[in-house]
Structure formats: structure tokens, C-alpha cells
Chains A and B, each alone.
Chain A
Amino acid sequence: MKLRDRISSWLESKFIQAAASAALLAFMALLPLFTDNYYQNIVWNAFFYMLLALGLNIIVGYCGLCDLGYASKFAIGAYTTGILIKTYHWNFWATLPVSIIISIVSSVIIGLPTLKLRSDYLAIVTLGFAEIVRITARNLKITGAATGLIAIPRPTFFGIRLVKITHWYYVFLILVVIYIIISFRIRNSRFGRALAYIREDEDAAEAMGVNTSLYKLYAYVLGAVLGGVTGSFYAVKMTSISPGSFDFNQSVNVLLAVILGGMGKVPGVVLGAAFFALFPEFFRDIPVIGDMRMLFFGLLLIAVIIAKPQGLWPERNK
């Protein structure tokens, strides 16, 4: 056996994977004990991108639908929670179900008539919808217009008021673990396989009995719900939200994380998101490179899609 095969078969073994995951999780859980707020916030930001990327991954990576407006999905969650807390003085945890319901309703309204369209048309529809959400948020009084919502009160969790960055570090770490579990459960199920069949060949999937329109809608709604929940948590962590946080660049960043990470491969998507969150931190202070980072991402994106259309995460070997 070649060394490469040996390494990959070793990496594929369930035991090693479980041990590595446990070790990584333990490390992430202990990290706040020996880092300060600054670093915790950077890692928190990475967690935040992971949540977004894992949500979008259901739509793009699992089902192969191109969504250029994922920012609108988490904007909807963030504004729902923000408005309910600020204007109607709701408890944060009570806003979550509402956020989920509004995510479902809005994604069904937009998905139902358009998911039957070809993938490239769908990309533009999602982009257009995201712009509508953003412009609406900028123009309405209830969303705080261009300034957005500010001073959203922090929630409590079993009597602890979640004010410190360390609190949010753990809240988002738990969310990341939950999203990863959800992702794996979907991937290894009849439902998740059906999404993969649609991604690979929609006609053949339909011929095998997959109700492709319905399953695409499921994937789209599920991705929107995960995005909405992420947005709700984002709103109370940041305590302020504004239309600028949900623009096209944000959607593109998350999409790039999913695509470069390997479209549908969970570890790749998580790493891709971490890369996108951390990369600017490292290069922020270097004058020219910092400004040109999206230029490099653009070049990288072209190179990856041409050379390795399945993303950077290694493929299964056989």
C-alpha cells in the first residue's frame, strides 16, 4: 500500500476520527482559560462564520442550489429577534421560535415559485431577494432605518446574564457542535442522500422517485432556518445590527467558504469558514495585501473551480 493510501485509510477509520474530533472539541472548550478577550472574540467570529457556512452548506453543498443571498436569511433572524426584544420587550429565548417561523415562511414564499428555475436563475433570484430585504431594512422605521437597531439587551441563560465575551464564546461553540451534528445527520439519511442525488443529476434523481421540487424546498427552508437562528444569536451578541452587516459581500464571503471548503464536506466547510474569518485578522495590518485580499480570493476561487471543482477538501480515495 502506498503511503498516501495508508494515511488516508488511517484518517478514514472511525476511531481516529472520533478521537481527533473529541480532542479538537476539548481544545476549543479549554481555549478561553488561557486566552484574553481579544483572541476569544476572533475565535467567536470564526464560530459565527462556521454557523453561516454550515447553514448555507445545506443549500449549496448538499443540494447544489446556488444561493447568492444568504445574508438575507440571517438578516431576517437578526431583525426578528432585534425588533421583538427592542420594540416589544420579549425575552430572547421566546424570539427564537418566531425567528424560525418567519424564516420558514419567507423562504417558502421565495422558494416555492422559483426553485423550479435553473440553478443560475435561482442565483439571481436569491440575490435580488437579499437586496430587497436589505433595502427594506434600510427604509423602514421599525428596523431602525440606516442606523439599524442599537442597544439590544443581552439575554440571560439559567440566571447568568450573557455579557462577557467568554459567555458568547461558549454559546456559539455549542451552536457549532449542534449545527455539525445536524449536518452529519442529514448527510447520512434518506433525506440527505436525496439532496445529493438532486445535486448530482436532477433528472436522474426525479427518475429514482425523488420529489425534486419538494426536496429542494426542504433544503432551502432548512438552510434559511439555520441562517435565521444564527442571525438571532448574532443580534443579541452584537447588541446592534444595521443593514450594512447584511450586504452582498457578506453573502459572497459565506458562499466562498462553502465552495472553497469543498461543497458539502462538513470538515472542509468548517475550515473554509475559519479561514475566511481569521484570514483578514492576520492580514489587516499589512497595508497593500489587506486591501487586496478579496482580489486574491477572486483569483483563488477561479483557480479552485477550474483545477478542483469539488473544492479544496480532499476527496475520498477510491
Chain B
Amino acid sequence: MFTFWEIVLQQFINGLVLGSFYALVALGYSMVYGIIKLLNFAHGDIYMAGAFTCLSVYSLISGYMPGWLGISLAMLAAILASAILGYIAQRVAYRPLLSAPRLSLLISAIGVSLVIYNAVMVMTNSKAMFFPGGINKSTGISYGHVTITYMQISLLAAAFAAMAALTVFISRTKLGKAMRAIAIDTDACYLMGINVNAVISFTFMLGSGLAAVAGGMYCVYYGNVQYSMGYLVGIKAFTSSVIGGIGSIPGAMLGGLLLGLLEAFGTQMLGSSWKDVFAFSLLILILAFKPNGLLGKPEVARM
């Protein structure tokens, strides 16, 4: 039998892993929202496309090389594919609408989501795809009944490495500075000679790449992918970025981890059939009573 503290610790680990998925996807939401005030509804589908690319590429190459190398290459391919997809979506469906009402942008994003979702659905014949065997998922470090698998450890390490790299990138590099500047005042950036469109494109690619990391991690961790997997994760990642304060990078990370933990403990207490209700209720409550989230700043409307 599990003791109370063993359950808490085990759920903490599970929640952390789940939360790191959410956090990686939430970052893309938050960055894009920060820079062009778009809720990129298609972001979950880009994550799904990343997962599919990772799985397909791994299935093709896994026979010819050691597992870790295969996964790394497949992950790189997923990042690349998602980044390109994100770029195309941005270029075709969003850029012409940057000065239009925000609702049009959102609707265009729903259109992009429908396209990616249905394209993958048709390509896969609505069937789930499974990760080829050969990866050890069950060994790990145990303490009493609590186990953290080596896979969980490497996923957490990968997620935190990606987040750390992003933080350094945003705060130290010129491009990162340009991203922050555009988020504050786009018009001023045009005047200062910043190539705003290029920076926006880059932001999309960066966000999509991070989503692909999460997608790749998902397919390794859970061993299967299907075309509908992006919808729920997309919404939960959005919830995460709202919890943290949309537009805030550390907020997205914090929000993702927090939602993962809340969901792990929520499932423990309420059962898995209600866990999504739990997440959605949380989203509504936070939007209603603390719309700027934990780390977000209030927007001052300019008249």
C-alpha cells in the first residue's frame, strides 16, 4: 500500500512531467500573444504535427542507429517541421490580418487549426500511430513505492534545458530584445528600423519549435499519437499561459507546471473522468477573477 506521502510524492513527479508538456506548449501561446495579441488557436495542432513528424521519422530511422540518436534526430526533424508549419501559417493566414480586428485573427487561426487537423486526419486515415518498441520506459529510481523513471528524468531535463535556453535567449540576445520591444510598442519598433515582420515570423517559428519538443516528448512518453491530440493539450497549454499571465515567459512556465501538478492531484482526488472539468473550471475562474494571471501585467487601454 502507498502511504499518504508516497502518493503525494508520486503525483508530484507525474504532475511535473505533465506540467512540462503544458509549459513548453504554453510558451508558444504566450510569446505569440505577447507579440501580436493573437490567441493562436492552431498552436495545439502544430504541437500535434510535431509529434507526428517525430514518430514518423523515428520509425524510418530507428533500425539504423542507437535509440538515443534516433530520438534526437527525430526530435530535430519535428522541431524543423513545426517551425516551418508555424512560419507558413503566420505568413499566409495571420500577416494579412495584423491590422484587422482581433476577432478576424482568431477566426483565421481557427481556420488554420481546421486545416492542419483535417490534413493529418486524412493522411493517417483517422487512426492512431504507435511508437516502435525498443525504448525502456519502466526502469528508474525507486524510493519506497515512489518511482521516477529514467525517461521521466530525461524528459524533465530536456524540458528544463529548453526553457532555460529560451530564457537566456530572450533576455540576452538582440533578437530576444527585439521580441520584447515589439510586445511593448510595435509602431515604435517600425520607426526604430526593426524588421518587425521578420521578428514576428521568428517568434512563430520559435514557439512552434518548442511545441514540437513537447510533441516529440509526448510520443516517446505515451507511445502513441493521433490527430486529435492537439486540441486538449492546446487548450490546457492556453490555460497554463493564462494562469501564469499571458504574454509573460516565466509565467507560461510556472503556469504549465502548476496546471500539471493541479491536474495530477485533481485526478487523484476526483478521478480521471472529471480531470478536464477541473482544468476548464480553473481556466474560467482565473479569467473571471484574475485575468492578468500570476505574473502578467495589466493592459492599459490607450484611447
Q: Which residues of A contact B (CB under 8 A)?
A: 64, 66, 68, 110, 113-114, 117-121, 123-125, 127-129, 131-132, 135-136, 138-139, 203, 248, 252, 255, 259, 288, 291-292, 294-295, 297-302, 305-306, 309
Contacts and interface: CB of A to CB of B under 8 A. Distances in A.
Interface in B285-303: 287-289, 291, 301, 303
Contact of B108 (A66, A113, A305): A305
A31 to B, nearest CB: 32
Contacts of A255: 110
A296 B32 CA distance: 26
Given A118-B102, A302-B111, 20 more contacts: A66-B103, A66-B107, A113-B288, A113-B289, A114-B284, A119-B103, A121-B291, A123-B39, A125-B284, A128-B239, A131-B276, A132-B277, A139-B274, A203-B303, A292-B118, A295-B114, A298-B114, A301-B114, A302-B93, A309-B101
Contacts of A128: 235, 239, 280-281, 283-284
Given A113-B289, A124-B235, A291-B121, A131 B107 contact: no
Given A120-B39, A298-B115, A302-B108, A127 B287 contact: no
Nearest to B282: A128
Contacts of A292: 118, 122
Nearest to A118: B102
A301 B110 contact: yes
A114 B115 contact: no
B103 to A, nearest CB: 5
A285 to B, nearest CB: 16
Nearest to B106: A120
Chain B interface extent, by class? 35 or more
Nearest to A145: B273
B188 interface: no
Nearest to B89: A302
27 contacts: A66-B103, A114-B284, A117-B291, A120-B39, A120-B103, A121-B287, A121-B291, A123-B39, A124-B242, A125-B288, A128-B239, A129-B280, A129-B284, A131-B276, A132-B281, A132-B284, A139-B273, A248-B231, A259-B107, A291-B118, A294-B117, A298-B112, A302-B112, A305-B97, A305-B108, A306-B93, A306-B97
B119 interface: yes
Interface in B76-113: 92-93, 96-97, 100-104, 106-108, 110-113
Contacts of B283: 124-125, 128
Q: Which of A110, A139, A292, A294 has the most CB of B within 10 A?
A: A294
B280 A132 contact: yes
Contacts of A301: 107-108, 110-111, 114
B238 interface: yes
Contacts of A291: 118, 121-122
A131 to B, nearest CB: 5
B122 A302 contact: no
Given A127-B235, A259-B107, A117 B97 contact: no
A295 B284 contact: no
A279 B277 CA distance: 34
A252 B96 CA distance: 23
Contacts of B239: 128
A262 B256 CA distance: 38
